[in-house]
Amino acid sequence: MLRRLFAGGAGTLVAALMCGGAFAQDTVKVGLILPMTGPFASTGRQIEAAAKLYMAQHGAMAGGKKIELIVKDDTGVADVTKRLAQELVVNDKVAFLAGFGLTPTALATAPIATEAKVPMIVMAAGTSIITERSPFIVRTSFTLPQNTLPVAEWAAKNGLKKVVTLVTDFGPGLDAEKTFTEVFTKAGGSIPEKLRVPLRNPDFAPFLQRAADAKPDALFVFVPSGAGSAVMKQFAERGLNKAGIKLIGPGDVTDDDILNDMGDVALGTITSMHYSAAHKSAENQAFVAAFGKANNGMRPNFMAVGGWDGMHLVYQALAKTGGKTDGEALVGAMKGMKWVSPRGPISIDPETRDIIQNVYMRKVERVDGQLYNVEFATFEAVKDPGKTKK
């Protein structure tokens, strides 16, 4: 009797252990590190909302595994990102690291992805060099050279001769400034001033005054997502719009998250970008409607679409490996993957692991009472020019 009880007990214990083991293996964890608080919190809010919407629409399973999302707030500070990534790998045993709202946070995490052989999906940061920092990095966001090239060509072809550049002084801003300068000056344009503003606590007023004093045809601006409203306000207050100076740049400055509150000063701004909430496709209309419905009417911006496609990559890579979470197999599965995103057709360059996507020329217009980036031309399947030129 005693023996039977003991045997039964041990059996239960073994079953419980096996069950626990099987459970652990049947769940695949995705560590999503984002700035959820601080000056770049809108990026975190947008990406988290998009990732959760993707999971709500596609179910919790991929490749026979249950997907578990673990969201961590790095406040946009690289040292914090790195520590959180380490904890997610060592303690939580995540199969994917994802997110990365700012370039320095992605660069700080790259060595951890390499060492742990964990795929790292960059959903937001846009400096060209990032994907070269680890063979485990795959990007679903964009690069600044990619988004700057079309507007630089547009400027040269549309009668602009003298342009002042104003960029935030870190990786993506320097990439934008370099690409614009190369393309625009090669076409005969001149750049009398190159202005750089700090990333933290920027005061745009003195820079916009200097830009106004140079009397250019246009001001080329790159600021990170969220900072565009302050630029627009100073652009109007310093009278640059009244002086007939055009505002151009990659589309970060007319971010869909804040565009609608900018007012008439934003009208006519010409930008090039991979995503507009006004993109005319069935996929995007469904995305914008579902995103708004799930988030109190919030309009998705270009960060959201990076989060959405990043989750698609997780799901599809697991489907391809049959649920196997070996890092090299997952990255191998992602290389060359193609799909139709809300932004249009996209793919992962098998050589660089960077995104290949359409970049659209857009103009800010009022549509049904709301400000939108209305697309008027398409540059198809653009690879990151920051890499191909090296």
| Residue 113 binds ligand PHB (CB under 6 A) | no
| Residue 134 binds ligand PHB (CB under 6 A) | no
Q: Residue from 99, 119, 189, 224 that binds ligand PHB (CB under 6 A)? A: 224
Long-range CB contact pairs, 78-83, < 8 A, 24+: 78/102, 78/104, 78/105, 78/107, 78/108, 79/108, 81/33, 81/105, 81/106, 81/108, 81/109, 82/108, 82/109, 82/112
Q: Residue from 35, 172, 307, 327 that binds ligand PHB (CB under 6 A)? A: 172
What span, in angstroms and rounded, lies between the C-alpha atoms of 135 and 203?
38
Which residue lies nearer to ligand PHB by CB, 147 or 181? Answer: 147
Which residue lies nearer to ligand PHB by CB, 69 or 125? Answer: 125
Q: Which stretch binds ligand PHB (CB under 6 A): 65-73, 122-130, 314-322, 349-357?
A: 122-130
Which residue lies nearer to ligand PHB by CB, 103 or 357? Answer: 103
Shortest Cβ 36–ligand PHB spacing (Å):
15
Q: Residue from 165, 225, 229, 241 that binds ligand PHB (CB under 6 A)? A: 225
Shortest Cβ 224–ligand PHB spacing (Å):
3
Which residue lies nearer to ligand PHB by CB, 211 or 258? Answer: 258
Shortest Cβ 81–ligand PHB spacing (Å):
12
Pairing of strands 370-382, 270-273: unpaired
Q: Is 26 left (phi over 0), alpha (psi -120 to 50) or beta?
A: alpha
Positive or negative: CA dihedral 236, 237, 242, 247: negative
CB neighbour list of residue 372: distance below 8 Å, 6 or more residues apart: 256, 259, 276, 277, 278, 364, 365, 366
Q: Residue from 125, 212, 248, 277 that binds ligand PHB (CB under 6 A)? A: 125
| Residue 140 binds ligand PHB (CB under 6 A) | no
DSSP assignment of 147-181, as one string? HHHHHHHHHHHTT--BEEEEEESSHHHHHHHHHHH
Q: Which stretch binds ligand PHB (CB under 6 A): 1-9, 120-128, 159-167, 333-341?
A: 120-128
**Footprint (CB under 6 A) of ligand PHB, residues 74-103:** 102-103
On whether the CB atoms of residues 145 and 128 are closer than 8 A, the answer is yes
CB neighbour list of residue 288: distance below 8 Å, 6 or more residues apart: 277, 299, 300, 342
What span, in angstroms and rounded, lies between the C-alpha atoms of 143 and 129?
9
* Residue nearest ligand PHB by beta-carbon distance: 224
Which residue lies nearer to ligand PHB by CB, 173 or 216? Answer: 173
Site for ligand PHB, rule CB under 6 A:
102-103, 125-127, 171-172, 224-225, 252
